[in-house]
Amino acid sequence: DTLVNQIAAGEVIERPASVVKELVENALDAGARRIDIDLEEGGVRLIRVRDDGGGIEPDELPLAVSRHATSKIASLDDLEGVATLGFRGEALPSIASVSRFALISRRAGGGHAAMLEVDGGRVGTVVPKAHPPGTTVEVRDLFFNVPARRKFLKAERTELGHIEEWLRQLALARPDVELRVSHNGKPSRRWKGEGDLLSEVRLHEALGEEFARNALRVDHHGPAPAAGAAQGLRLHGWIAQPSYNRASADQQYLYVNGRAVRDRSIAHAVKQAYADVLFHGRQPAYVLFLELDPRRVDVNVHPAKHEVRFRDARLIHDFVYRTLEQALAETRA
């Protein structure tokens, strides 16, 4: 069913950056502490993602590239509180149907390493191959067999830019993981693994010195249980103050339970608090993390769109608004 996989790829895999996203998220789901990403020609020629995560048994390699085989959920009920990034089991078969693909892996803690190649959807056989514990996925010649898709790929710099932007978004959310990137054989970026909390160093590296210098740190937990429905909410991160003099609509990073999302209601709450307290009309730059009980948010809206649906959207809007209004007002006092 190469065709079915290619159709699925049409939904999920738009460009090299989508492949990087799927592969890196798999590495994170596998518990990787370090991820190496090698790119050639903006990822069109090659994307190679290597991790030091849990790895895959040789005899499970065919399963990993077959449709709807996910090791991450066992039943529909699990969807409710899904904590891993992937859970649909369609990324690898989709990618492998539109590229020259190789999956090489070895279980952490023993066993043999093996490789499975898939050429434009044609699955080969598992062969022994040397590899340290962890997994490498190689994707060459993306869309080589789908000329209509290949035609829409942009210049190398543009595709690379999309990948870098996605990696920046990830680096802000996962300061605990080391990321190394190379392009056309040259090291291009290295994010050293740090603690669990986004440090000023990484903030600075990701968004520039200006942002880091002008950013206000926010960290607020919802009120105590007795106060009602806002319990268990937490908003933390950084918001630039008006002294930050830069067009900033492209520096708005919002994460819900660690997952980068776009949400109009929250974006509105941030902008409104900013406008009410400080300044009218300007787009605030921010990196904000909202944490809440996963049962109060539905992430299963669309595999590629970064949208979520909140069970109580109004309450969350108001929590974000009030938290930022207070934090920003204090800087004026």
For the window 32-71, what string marks contact with ligand ADP as x by the rule CB under 6 A? -------------------x-xxxx-------x-----xx
Alpha helices in 174-283 (DSSP H): 200-207, 209-214, 264-277
Could you say whether residue 101 binds ligand ADP (CB under 6 A)?
no
Backbone angles phi, psi at 167, to 5 degrees: -65, -35
Could you say whether residue 87 binds ligand ADP (CB under 6 A)?
yes
Please, which residue, 99 or 251, has the CB nearer to ligand ADP? 99
CB contact at 8 A, 199 and 193 = no
Please, which residue, 129 or 220, has the CB nearer to ligand ADP? 129
Could you say whether residue 26 binds Mg ion (CB under 5 A)?
yes
Stretch that binds ligand ADP, among 87-95, 117-125, 217-225, 269-277 (CB under 6 A): 87-95
Please, which residue, 70 or 272, has the CB nearer to ligand ADP? 70
Binding partner of residue 135 among ligand ADP, Mg ion, none, CB cut-off 5 to 8 Å per kind: ligand ADP
Binding partner of residue 42 among ligand ADP, Mg ion, none, CB cut-off 5 to 8 Å per kind: none
Q: 228 is written with which tokens?
A: 């009602």
Site for ligand ADP in 127-146 (CB under 6 A): 135
Q: With CB under 5 A, what is the number of residues at the site for Mg ion?
A: 3
- Work out the end-to-end distance of the chain between its first and last CA atoms, rounded to an integer number of angstroms: 64
Closest CA to 262 of 249, 273, 278: 249
Distance CA 102, CA 137 (A): 6
CB contact at 8 A, 33 and 193 = yes
Q: 37 is written with which tokens?
A: 């990403």
CB of 237 to Mg ion, least distance (A): 26
Could you say whether residue 86 binds Mg ion (CB under 5 A)?
yes
**Residue of closest CB approach to Mg ion:** 86
CB of 125 to Mg ion, least distance (A): 23
R_g of the chain computed on alpha carbons: 21
CB contact at 8 A, 290 and 255 = yes
* Alpha carbon of residue 175 to chain centroid: 13
CB contact at 8 A, 135 and 27 = yes
**Binding site residues, Mg ion, CB under 5 A:** 26, 86, 91
**Binding site residues, ligand ADP, CB under 6 A:** 22, 26-27, 30, 51, 53-56, 64, 70-72, 86-92, 135
